[in-house]
């Protein structure tokens, strides 16, 4: 039985193994003990903190098989980005070069360095061990965050973004970065990615070109990957698009992977979610449809996929005893839930 809970200091070894397995380009999980332990400590502090508006909190969760004790995945939320450290993107826009006299009208794509997403919330650090990539585990590890954010809205911004991993090869070489490296950085992609992951972003401001870049001046290989995702990231992008996320022209400054965004209230799982009191009843829950379910706690937060029978007239939800125990809820406690199939009734 897989359950999601807040990360703890005892999960360090699992988090380190995820950092190794995720590979180059997974910026939020660098292979660095001090940083990973700091992420865990920061998350523990966020779950302990009383919050009435979004700040510099970072919430990190793990998926645990509670029958074996194995931690098989992780997932995170940044309450805000860019408040302490600059949060950079390229925005893909257009300029027009026109001369009425010469009857010339050319539209040119440009990339402009910006900090437009400062202050928004970010879903991040999603990694699921390959052995656990079955059933609804991957969807749960992504979608429960929308329930958590909907339940605790004062902790998060209205706009939610997700940075998608861009195109790179097995050696971590990015066609987009190769062009930047050649002309501005003299630093390979794995090094730049690692420095960003450990929070050393000064070099970006110092070395990144200050003026808009004409896309037509980039190499053909670099142009071809702007706004494209790594093949391993395609399922995650598709899932977010189904939730209502879309790209508004913002791409990563290193690998040109797209950043997608949505308003929390318009995210399909959040929008479809309901909050009801629990009634523990094994018989009524036995043949019920599957839902993504969370309790309403912070420090003792739990989430899982489980059968749930909904009584709309009584405004109660029926859970099995086993699932109620896994979710740390009792009769009369509140839960928030959303259907695993968004076209079914909630």
In this structure, how many other beta carbons lie within 10 angstroms of the beta carbon of residue 20?
A: 9
pLDDT at 23: 73
Task: Report the distance separating Cα 56 and Cα 22, nearest Å.
Answer: 25
Please tell me the CATH code under which domain 273-339 is placed.
Answer: 2.40.40.20
pLDDT at 256: 94
Q: Which residues are catalytic?
A: 230
CATH 2.40.40.20 domain position(s) in the chain: 273-339
**What is the CATH topology of the domain spanning 2-88+116-268?**
Aminopeptidase (3.40.630)
pTM of the predicted structure, to 2 decimals: 0.90
pLDDT at 294: 98
CB of 3 within 8 A of CB of 326? yes
User: Could you tell me where the DSSP H helices lie in 171-293?
Assistant: 175-180, 189-197, 202-207, 220-224, 234-243, 268-272, 282-286
pLDDT at 345: 42
CATH 3.40.630.30 domain position(s) in the chain: 2-88+116-268
In the predicted model, residues of the chain with pLDDT beneath 70 are 24-25, 27, 189-190, 192-203, 205, 343-346
DSSP E strands, the chain: 2-6, 58-65, 71-78, 89-99, 104-114, 121-128, 159-163, 213-214, 246-251, 258-263, 274-280, 290-295, 303-307, 309-311, 316-319, 334-339
């Amino acid at each position: 039985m897989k359950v999601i809970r807040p990360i703890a200091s005892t999960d360090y070894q699992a988090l380190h193994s995820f950092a190794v397995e995720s590979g180059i380009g997974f910026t939020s999980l660098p292979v660095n003990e001090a940083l990973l332990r700091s992420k865990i400590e920061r998350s523990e502090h966020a779950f302990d903190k009383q919050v009435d508006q979004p700040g510099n909190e970072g919430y990190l969760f793990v998926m645990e098989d509670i029958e074996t004790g194995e931690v098989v995945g992780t997932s995170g939320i940044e309450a805000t980005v860019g408040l302490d450290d600059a949060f950079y993107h390229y925005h893909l826009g257009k300029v027009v070069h026109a001369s009425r006299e010469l009857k010339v009208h050319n539209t040119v794509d440009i990339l402009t360095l910006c900090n437009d997403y400062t202050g928004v919330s970010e879903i991040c650090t999603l990694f699921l061990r390959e052995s656990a990539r079955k059933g609804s585990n991957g969807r749960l590890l992504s979608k429960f965050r929308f329930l958590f954010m909907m339940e605790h809205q004062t902790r998060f911004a209205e706009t939610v973004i997700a940075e998608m991993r861009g195109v790179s090869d097995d050696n971590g070489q990015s066609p987009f970065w190769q062009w930047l490296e050649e002309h501005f950085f003299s630093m390979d992609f794995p090094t730049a990615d690692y420095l960003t992951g450990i929070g050393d972003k000064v070099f970006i401001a110092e070395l990144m070109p200050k003026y808009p870049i004409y896309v037509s001046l980039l190499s053909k290989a670099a142009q071809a990957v702007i706004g494209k995702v790594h093949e391993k990231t395609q399922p995650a992008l598709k899932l977010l698009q189904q939730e209502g996320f879309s790209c508004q022209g913002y791409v990563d400054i290193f690998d040109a992977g797209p950043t997608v965004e949505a308003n929390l209230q318009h995210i399909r799982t959040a929008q479809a979610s309901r909050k009801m009191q629990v009634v523990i009843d094994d018989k009524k829950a036995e043949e019920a449809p599957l839902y993504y379910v969370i309790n309403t706690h912070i420090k003792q937060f739990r989430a899982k996929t489980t059968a749930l029978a909904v009584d709309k007239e009584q405004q109660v939800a029926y859970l099995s005893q086993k699932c109620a125990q896994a979710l740390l809820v009792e009769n009369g406690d509140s839960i928030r839930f959303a259907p695993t199939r968004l076209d079914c009734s909630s």
